[in-house]
A and B are shown apart, each in its own frame.
Chain A
Amino acid sequence: MMSNLTGAERTTAMTIAGFGALIGLAMAAAGHGDPMGVHGWIVLAFFGVLFFIVASALYSPEPVEDRALSYYDDPTKVGIILALIWAVVGMFMGVWVASQLAWPDLRFEGAWSGFGRLRPVHTSGVIFGFGGNALIATSYHIMQRTSRARMPGQISPWFVLLGFNLFCILAASGYVMGVTQSKEYAEAEWYADIWLVVVWVVYFILYMRTLSRRNEPHIYVANWYYLSFILVVAILHIVNNLAVPASWTGAKSYSLFSGVQDAMTQWWYGHNAVAFFLTTGFLGMLYYFLPKRAGRPIYSYRLSILSFWGIVFFYIWVGSHHLHYTALPHWVQTLGMTFSVMLLVPSWASAGNALMTLNGAWGKVRDDATLRFMMMAAVFYGLSTFEGSFMAIRPVNGLSHYTDWTVGHVHAGAMGWVALITFGSIYALTPVLWRRETMYSWKAVEWHFWLALSGTVIYVFSMWNSGIIQGLMWRTYTETGTLKFSFVDSLVAMHPYYIARAFGGLLFLTGACICLWNVVMTILHVPQKAPELDYPTSSEAMEPALPAAE
């Protein structure tokens, strides 16, 4: 890894790491006695380790060849491994908290291990740790290949990837210590949020600079999806995390907004995070890896562009459907509901486009589990976007809201769509990235596919059942007009579904473990096979690109 960096770049990396370590030390000193102090030590240790990794290779041989003649894949490789490690950790947390709901004793009497603290570790672990690392890694790959150009710097890709992981570590360790803003999917406190803004701005600049160096006139549609993910998440993150720290030496802060105003901001953020973190970036993955793996162009490229602009213009308005029947003005709820229903059009355009691309290649889908991951992802994308539009309709929401139906819906999207497309992309990408012939074990990929699919189906079906039973029990009246069931009655009715849910999650987690093992074995044991034409070029004769002036 270090052999791709020049001496000057190694010095720059050491300076950044040293500076970060100093900030960590300052945080540790200022926040003594507060969770912020613990975070200071974590920051110090993180940058300290990086400092020594770079320092130990400071005088090793420098690259002699012209680096602009090849793609920069080292950060992508590390990102893929990190994504899979986070997947195992985050999904394990998910299985644990799901089991706590069925068997509350699994809390083991600890304050840190209560449901309220571990659940955000699960959600942040899978969304940001697994999803975020996979998005960053695949975006590095796709932006370089579709632009036929190398990334502009050697340091900034590492800064983005590792900086983002530092944010994830600060977030997860904070939750366990009880640090939270109490905003769903935005629980991390103010200093972690500020750090993420810095990382994200560098990410955006890196992406734009790579595109501006492209040797290919057209910007492939996947890049638009990734760009919208980066840009919109930056704005959402900044607005929703506007907060005043209670003091500069502690983790606690207070939101700038209060009451229903804060709830509106939170769900404006929350649903757009679903849109631009969990949808557009992964659609970018789909639009690159699915045609690539199937060996045929996307069915309608025109439609892929149309659905991109449709998603961008519709999604932003739907957040208020999370606040039906609340103090939020009625017209704002109706606005959110209307746009949610309209959103079905661009969503199904993408899902249909993906499936039509496979139409005519069903033999490949049958034989190739990697492609089957992507196909099932498109199916679940279509299913959960239909369900989402349906659940956003106010009377339907009256039944589904606050029940497990919502949880089932979210997981149909998160497991069925986001995780399956990510696993499919990882299986397609790993041999290309490490220059290997194939994956280590195609049987393990098959096993993973069926474990993931059955886990998702068990999970989603049990939550559908449990949620609708819950919703119906809560609205059943006796003849005298009182509620027929107490809350505990509904809780008892849910118990078997909670056991089924934990089992479904366990199957899914097992699949993720198999994936990590398979990727590691591929790197260690599968023979090398280098593609001769994997370098930046704009030439018809496939000659390497002239190095950009640096």
Chain B
Amino acid sequence: MSILTFLIPVTLCMGAIGLAAFFWSLRHGQYEDLSGDAERILHDDDAPLVPAHTPRPPVATKETTK
């Protein structure tokens, strides 16, 4: 099964890339405000709810994100 000496390193390599990405996300504040992060995609505008040319009302959850 010489193929395993090839496939297992390739697979471990992919795992290592994943691990590196995970540590990057950990160190760059990706997990600081999870509830705000989950909420914010809902407010980005695509839902055509706000009438034309009126300023968007402040959203409560935005305050918690910064």
Q: Does A146 contact B (CB under 8 A)?
A: yes
Smallest CB-CB separation from B52: which chain A residue? Answer: A532
User: B1-25, CB under 8 A of A: which get 1 and which 0?
Assistant: 1111001001100110110001001
Given contact pairs A291-B42, A297-B38, A297-B42, A313 touches B50 in the complex (Cβ within 8 A): no
CB distance A218 to B56 under 8 Å? no
> Considering the chains assembled together, what is the distance between the CA atoms of A296 and B17 in angstroms?
33
List residues 505-529 of chain A with CB under 8 A from any CB of chain B.
529
CB distance A541 to B55 under 8 Å? yes
Smallest CB-CB separation from A222: which chain B residue? Answer: B41
CB distance B1 to A291 under 8 Å? no
CB distance A264 to B1 under 8 Å? yes
Q: Compute the total of residue contacts between A and B using a CB distance below 8 Å.
A: 112
CB distance A148 to B44 under 8 Å? yes
18 A-B contacts (beta carbon < 8 Å):
A218-B30, A219-B25, A257-B3, A261-B1, A292-B41, A297-B41, A301-B37, A305-B34, A312-B15, A316-B15, A317-B11, A432-B47, A530-B48, A531-B50, A532-B54, A533-B56, A541-B55, A542-B45
Smallest CB-CB separation from B63: which chain A residue? Answer: A540
Q: How far is the CB of B62 from chain A (nearest CB, A)?
A: 6
Q: How far is the CB of A196 from chain B (nearest CB, A)?
A: 18
Q: Does A145 contact B (CB under 8 A)?
A: yes
Smallest CB-CB separation from A216: which chain B residue? Answer: B40
Q: How far is the CB of B55 from chain A (nearest CB, A)?
A: 7
Q: How far is the CB of A254 from chain B (nearest CB, A)?
A: 16
CB distance B7 to A265 under 8 Å? yes
CB distance B15 to A288 under 8 Å? no
CB distance B41 to A146 under 8 Å? yes
> Considering the chains assembled together, what is the distance between the CA atoms of A532 and B15 in angstroms?
43
Most chain A beta-carbon contacts within 10 A, residue among B29, B47, B50: B47
CB distance A232 to B14 under 8 Å? yes
> Considering the chains assembled together, what is the distance between the CA atoms of A109 and B58 in angstroms?
68
A268 neighbours in B (Cβ, 8 Å): 7, 11
CB distance B10 to A239 under 8 Å? yes
A-B CB proximity, top 6 nearest = A531-B48, A533-B45, A301-B38, A261-B3, A297-B38, A542-B56
Partner of A235, one of B10, B46, B48: B10
> Considering the chains assembled together, what is the distance between the CA atoms of A220 and B52 in angstroms?
28
> Considering the chains assembled together, what is the distance between the CA atoms of A265 and B4 in angstroms?
9
B22 neighbours in A (Cβ, 8 Å): 309
List residues 26-42 of chain B with CB under 8 A from any CB of chain A.
29-31, 33-35, 37-42
A366 neighbours in B (Cβ, 8 Å): none
> Considering the chains assembled together, what is the distance between the CA atoms of A541 and B49 in angstroms?
16
Smallest CB-CB separation from A232: which chain B residue? Answer: B14
Smallest CB-CB separation from A268: which chain B residue? Answer: B7
CB distance B4 to A531 under 8 Å? no
Given contact pairs A231-B17, A235-B14, A312-B18, A542 touches B55 in the complex (Cβ within 8 A): yes
CB distance B50 to A305 under 8 Å? no
Most chain A beta-carbon contacts within 10 A, residue among B14, B40, B53: B14
Q: Does A481 contact B (CB under 8 A)?
A: no
B4 neighbours in A (Cβ, 8 Å): 264, 332
CB distance B62 to A540 under 8 Å? yes
Q: How far is the CB of B7 from chain A (nearest CB, A)?
A: 6
> Considering the chains assembled together, what is the distance between the CA atoms of A150 and B11 in angstroms?
34
Given contact pairs A218-B30, A264-B1, A145 touches B35 in the complex (Cβ within 8 A): no
